[in-house]
Structure 1
Amino acid sequence: MNRPLKIVFMGTPDYAVPSLRALHDSGHKIVAVVTQPDRPKGRGRRLAPPPVKDIAVHYGYPVLQPEKVRTHAFHEAMTRLAPDLFIVVAFGQILPQRLLDIPGIGSINVHASLLPRYRGAAPIQWAIINGDRETGVTTMMMDKGMDTGDILLMEKTAIGPDETAVDLNLRLSEMGARTLIRTLERLQNGSLERAPQDHTQATYAPMLKKKDGKIDWSMPAERIECLIRGVTPWPGAYTFSDGMRLKIYKAGVLKREISVPPGTILECIPGELRVATGKWVIAIQEIQGDSGKRLPIDDFLCGCRLPDGTCLG
C-alpha cells in the first residue's frame, strides 16, 4: 500500500469544498489548509469566513489565511511543512514559482474547464455565456503561467439547456473532486501521464465585472438567454426601464421574427413578458426590481407596470 501523501490544500469558495472533503476521506495527510482572509459580507458587512475555512475548521486542520502569498513569512511556513504536494482548487491568488518549487512532487490544480479553453478566474460562467454545449474539469501540474501547466486528467460533461452558473458550479465541483482523487491514485500507482497543452488553442475567462451583466438587446435572443444563465447569481443580467434597474433571472427563447427595435416590450401573457431582440424574442419569466425580491413575472407586474411598447435598455 502506498504511503499517504503530505498535502497542503489551497482553496477558497464553495467550488473547492468537495475536493477538500474527498481528500479528507481519502486518507492522505493534510498538513495545512490555505484560504483567503475573512471578508465583509451581507448588509451588515460583518466578517465572514470563506467556505473552505469552515470545513477545514470542522475537520480540525491548521488554517492559514495570508493576505498575500508572495511574502518571505509564507514561503518559510510552507517550507517548514515540507509537503509532497500542493493541491490548489480556486484559491484566488497566483502562486510564484518559488512557492511551486517547495513540494517534493509538485503542485496540482483542479480547473473547471477543458483546458486549454477558458484559462482564468471564471471558466464556468464564460462557457455558459458563450453558448458552449460541453465543458468539464481538468487536473494539471502547475507552472508559473496562468493555467498553462501539463494536463493530467480530464472529464467532460454536457451543459444542460437550463443550467445556470450556480447549477454548473455545483456539478463541476463534485466532478473535480472525483477527478482529483483519480489523479492521486494514478500518481501513486505510476500510471499518470502528463500532456503539454496546445497553447495555440487557448481561450480566456477573465473575472466577471458588474458591467458584464448588462443586456445588449441587439444581440440574438439565444445569446441573451445564455448571458442570463451565465451571470446568475453574480453580477446578474440586468436592464433599465425609465431609470429603474431590472434584474432578470430566468427567460426563454421564442423563434419568432419581429420588426420593432430591440428591447421593445411586445406583450405580456401569463408567465411571460416578451421582449424583442436582435433576432427572435426573449420571454422573461423571473425578474427583480430595484428594491424588491426575485419574483415570477406575473407577481412582479402586479406592482410594477411595463406596458407594451416600452423600450428597455
Structure 2
Amino acid sequence: MSRSLNVIFAGTPDFAASSLQALLDSKHNVVAVYTQPDRQSGRGKKISMSPVKELALQHDIPVEQPTSLKAEEAQQQLASYNADIMVVVAYGLLLPQTVLDIPRLGCINVHGSLLPRWRGAAPIQRAIEAGDSESGITIMQMEAGLDTGPMISKAVTPITADDTGASLHDKLAAQGATLLVSTMDNIASDNFSAESQDDSLATYAHKLSKQEAFIDWNQSAHQIERTVRAFNSWPVAQSKLEDKVIRVWASEVVEAESSQSAGTIISADKSGVLVACGENHLLLTELQLPGSRKMSVKDLLNAPKNQELLANGAQFS
C-alpha cells in the first residue's frame, strides 16, 4: 500500500483548482499552495483571488504568491515546507532548475494535451482549432524546457463535433484531477516509469490573443467553425459589421458554393445568419451584439433594428 506524500501545489485557474480539490480529497497532504498574485478583474477593476487561492483558504492551507521564483528568498521559503513533491497545474510562472530540484521527488505537471502534441499555453483550444479528433491529459516530470519532460501517465478523451474550448476544458480538468491522484499513488509506492517525449512530433500551442479572434472570412467554413468552437468561451470569435463588433458564439457549416464575396450575408432567418466564406458557407446561430448578452439569431431578429443590421448583402469585415 502506498504512503501519503507531502505536496506543494502550484496553480491558478479553475482548471488547476479541480486538481487541487482531488488532492485534498486524497490521502496526500497539501502543505502549501502557490498561485499568481491577486489581480484586478471585471469592469469595476476589483481585486480578485485566483480559484486556487480561494480553495486553499477554505481549507486553511498556507498560500504563497511570489511574482517570481528566481529570488533566493522565494526559493528558501519553498524549501522550508519540506515537501516530497511539487504538483504544478496551469501555474503561470516559470520554475527555474533550482526550484525543480528542491522537492525530494521533484516536480510534476498536469498538462491538457497528449504530449508532445500541443506543448505551451493553450493546448485545449489549439486542439479544437486544428481539427484534432482527440485530446487528453499528460502528467510529466518537469524539467527546464517548456513541457518537454518525461511522461509518467496519460489519459485520452475524444473531441466531439460540438466540443467548445469551454466544454473540453471542463472534461480535461476532471480527467486531469482523477489521473493526478492515481499517478501520485503510484509515485508514492515507487510503481511508475517515465517515457521520454519524441521531440520530432512536438507542436506548440501559442497563447490565445484577442486580435486573432477576428474572423478571416477568406478561410474555409470548416476552419472558421472550428475557431468559433475553440474560442468559446474566450476570447470569442468576432467580426465587424458596420461599426459594430459582433461576437460569434455558435455556428454550423453549410456545404454550398457561392458567387458572393467572403463575409457577405446571404440570408438571415430564424435558423441563423448564412455567411459566404472562402469555401462553403457558415450559418451563425448564436451571436452577441455590443452591450447585450449572447442570444440565438431567432431571438435577435425579433428586433427590427437587428433585421436591418443583418440584412442580405451586408458585409462582415
Instruction: State the TM-score, normalized to the length of structure 2.
Output: 0.96
Q: Which residue of 1 aligns with 2:113?
A: 113
- Name the structure 1 match of 2:47: 47
- Flag structure 2 segments of 5+ consecutive residues without an equivalent: none
Query: Which amino acid in structure 1 is aligned with residue 218 of structure 2?
Result: S
SS at match of 1:26: coil
Q: Deviations over 1:279-302 (max 9, x none)?
A: 111000111112222111122232
Distance in 2 separating the partners of 1:105 and 1:123: 26
Distance in 1 between the 2:185 and 2:85 partners?
13
Matched residue type, 2:111: H
Match of 2:313 among 303, 309, 312: 309
Which amino acid in the other structure matches residue 211 of structure 1?
A: Q
Can you list the C-alpha shifts for 1:185-242, whole angstroms capped at 9, x where unaligned? 2222332111000011110011111111010001111110110111112111010111
Matched residue type, 1:94: L
1:168-247 paired onto structure 2 within 5 Å: 168-247=168-247
Q: How many residues align?
A: 313
Once the two structures are superposed, residues 144-192 of structure 1 have per-residue CA deviations (whole angstroms, 9 ceiling, x without a partner) of 0100000010111111111111111111000001111111122223321
Q: Distance in 1 between matches of 2:178 and 2:30?
A: 17
The separation in 1 between residues aligned to 2:133 and 2:26, in whole angstroms, is 32
Give the whole-Å Cα distance in 2 for the aligned partners of 1:4 and 1:151: 22
Once the two structures are TM-superposed, the CA of residue 93 in structure 1 deviates from its matched residue by: 0.8
1:24 equivalent in alignment to 2:24: yes
Question: Does residue 69 in structure 1 map to residue 77 in structure 2?
Answer: no
Q: Distance in 1 between matches of 2:20 and 2:115?
A: 22
Q: Give identity over the alignment, percent.
A: 38
Q: Distance in 1 between matches of 2:57 and 2:225?
A: 40
Output one character per residue of 1:6-32: Cα deviation in whole Å (capped at 9) or x when no partner. Answer: 110000000011111111111111110
Distance in 2 (alpha carbons) for counterparts of 1:84 and 1:256: 59
Q: Distance in 1 between matches of 2:50 and 2:187?
A: 30
RMSD (Å), alpha carbons: 1.0
Deviation per residue, 1:89-121 (Å, 9 max, x gap) = 000111000100000011110000000011011
Cα deviation for residue 50 of structure 1 reads 0.4
Alpha-carbon distance in 1 for matches of 2:192, 2:256: 51
1: CA distance, partners of 2:260 / 2:292: 30
Alpha-carbon distance in 1 for matches of 2:206, 2:75:
27
8 Å CA contact 2:4–2:188 kept in 1: the answer is: no
Counterparts in 2 of 1:121-200, with a 5 A limit?
121-200=121-200
Q: Distance in 2 between the 1:206 and 1:69 partners? A: 23
1:191 and 1:105 map into 2 onto residues whose CA distance is: 13
State the 1:83 CA deviation: 1.0
Q: How far apart are the structure 2 equivalents of 1:66 and 1:267?
A: 54
- How far apart are 1:2 and its partner, in Å? 3.3
Aligned partners of 2:87 and 2:134: how far apart in 1?
Answer: 25
Scaled by the length of structure 1, the TM-score of the pair is 0.98
Unaligned runs of 5+ in 1: none
SS in 2 for 1:127: helix
Give the alignment of 1:293-304 within 5 angstroms.
Answer: 293-301=293-301, 302=303, 303-304=305-306
SS of alignment partner, residue 36 of structure 2: coil
Q: State the match for 1:104 in structure 2.
A: 104
CA distance in 1, matches of 2:7, 2:253: 47
Residues 57 and 63 in structure 2, CA contact (< 8 A), matched pair in contact too? yes
Alignment of 1:8-19 (within 5 A): 8-19=8-19
| Structure 1 residue ranges (4+ consecutive) displaced by more than 4 angstroms after TM superposition | none
**1:31 aligned counterpart, secondary structure:** strand
